[in-house]
Structure 1
Amino acid sequence: MAREVVIVPGNGGGNIFSDGMWYGWLRKKLLEYDSELTVKLEDMPDPVVGRESIWIPFMRDKLKVGENSIIVGHSTGAVAAVRFCEQYKVHGIVLVGAYTTDCGMENEKLSGYFDRPWQWSKAKQNTEWISQFGSRDDQYLSWDEQVEVSVGLETDFHRFEDRGHFIEPYFPELVTLLKGQLMKN
């Protein structure tokens, strides 16, 4: 039974509570919905590059992501969520702006996430459900890579035409999805 949500932001180095993104807003909305729910949100170590060798142990050891956790990962956080689930069990994952290659960006090359093939079947086996949000007009990610993630993981894919990289201060569709998943438990 999922009783916690762990929000894993994208890389970039901004303060996750004050950068105008939906992370803090989502935390607040989930706690308003269920005050007994644990919602974890912290600045990630190595926030600019987002190295797998640092983020995965931080998720496991500091954030204590486990079998009762729902990971909400955005951008690099989505990539980290998939790689985490290749090794560890979680209750569910929500991928926002997920992708499969370094997109030709130096920081992404240095992250280590893209140095080996994706283990879609292991990730699927280690979670009860996977949802995904993607937008055709994402300014950083190709639509084909977002679809590749959906096909590889057989996600419940919420497709948009006009949301870019999901960097708005509000994300009501995500709240609706999470409330629906939490009510199932």
Structure 2
Amino acid sequence: MDRKSKQRVIIIHGSAMTPGIVNRYWYKWLEGELNKLGMNAIAPAFPDEKEAKDSIWIPFLINDLKVQEDDILVGHSSGAMAILRLCEQMKVKGIILVSAGYDSNENDSNWNWKKIKSNTQWIEQFHSTDDPFTSVVSSRYIANELRSVYHEFTDRNHFLCPDFPDIVTVIKKYS
């Protein structure tokens, strides 16, 4: 990244049963906080927000948002999983995974953990043991496979909160 360029951060929301998830929780708050710090943060609405299919989200990241090697990606829940799938294909500067977990029935050989790790300069993860949607066991497993910096809480649920200052702290550390 050119020193004169602003650090671009792409915030990828999770899936939802009702439209407009990008306007709930901490996504737009984080976008605003990072832009105040002089970064180029975006929290776009993704197509297919109900099911978050890789076949739709990955091309959207590559073709519409034009993810680059110097971008930081922040993903929540299914957004975190989309980031992992994207990083099997391309390099990015760093990733932050919030409530990342995968179906324990899924074949682990479907994931290229080594490639994901080699395609990022750094990885940080956030999870809470009281998350009702994403297993802490699967999040810990991902952290172990990726050797990510792992932040575990006991009282954050699925991180469905209006703000998330911890992420700002992490991004400032790497920018």
* Superposition TM-score, scaled by structure 1 size: 0.86
**Alpha-carbon distance in 1 for matches of 2:11, 2:34:** 11
Q: Choose which of 158, 172, 175 in structure 2 pairs with 1:179.
A: 172
1:100 aligns with 102
Per the alignment, do residues 33 and 56 of structure 1 end up closer, same or farther by CA in structure 2, a change over 3 Å counting?
A: same
SS at match of 1:99: coil
Q: 1:115: Cα distance to partner?
A: 9.2
Pair 1:5-2:9 in alignment: yes
Note if contact 1:100-1:114 (Cα within 8 Å) is conserved in structure 2: no
Q: Which amino acid aligns with 1:162?
A: D
Is 1:83 equivalent to 2:85 in the alignment? Answer: yes
Alpha carbons of structure 1 residues 127 and 68: separation in structure 2 relative to 1, 3 Å: same
What is the one-letter code of the residue matched to 2:36? E
How far, CA to CA, are the matches of 1:67 and 1:114 in structure 2?
Answer: 28
Instruction: Name the structure 1 match of 2:43.
Output: 41
| 1:121-167 superposed Cα distances (whole Å, 9 cap, x missing partner) | 00011110000001100011111101011001110001111101101
Matches within 5 A, 1:1-185: 1=1, 3-12=7-16, 13-19=18-24, 21-34=25-38, 37-101=39-103, 117-182=110-175
Could you say if the C-alpha distance between residues 54 and 152 of structure 1 is closer, same or farther in structure 2, counting changes exceeding 3 Å? same
What is the root-mean-square deviation of aligned Cα atoms in Å? 1.8
Question: What CA distance in whole angstroms lies between the structure 2 residues aligned with 1:88 and 1:40?
Answer: 20
- Normalising by structure 2, what TM-score? 0.91
Q: CA deviation at 1:114?
A: 7.3
**Distance in 2 (alpha carbons) for counterparts of 1:127 and 1:18:** 28
Taking the aligned partners of 1:40 and 1:67, their CA distance within structure 2 comes to 16
Question: Gaps (5+ residues) in structure 2?
Answer: none
After superposing on structure 2, the runs of 4+ consecutive aligned residues of structure 1 that deviate more than 3 Å are 113-116
- Do the aligned partners of residues 126 and 158 (structure 1) sit closer, same or farther apart at CA in structure 2, a change above 3 Å counting? same
Partners of 2:31 and 2:41 within 8 A in 1? yes
Partners of 1:135 and 1:163 within 8 A in 2: yes
> Over residues 74-113 of structure 1, what are the superposed CA-to-partner deviations in whole Å (9 max), with x where a residue is unaligned?
0000000001000011010000000021x78xxxxxxxx9
Equivalent in the alignment of 1:109: none
2:13/2:21 contact within 8 Å kept: yes
The answer as to whether partners of 2:13 and 2:22 remain within 8 angstroms in 1 is no
Partner amino acid, structure 2, of 1:51: K
What is the aligned residue count? 170
CA distance in 1, matches of 2:107, 2:31: 29
2:113 touches 2:145 (CA, 8 Å); kept in 1?
A: yes
After TM superposition, give the deviation of residue 66 of structure 1 in Å. 1.2
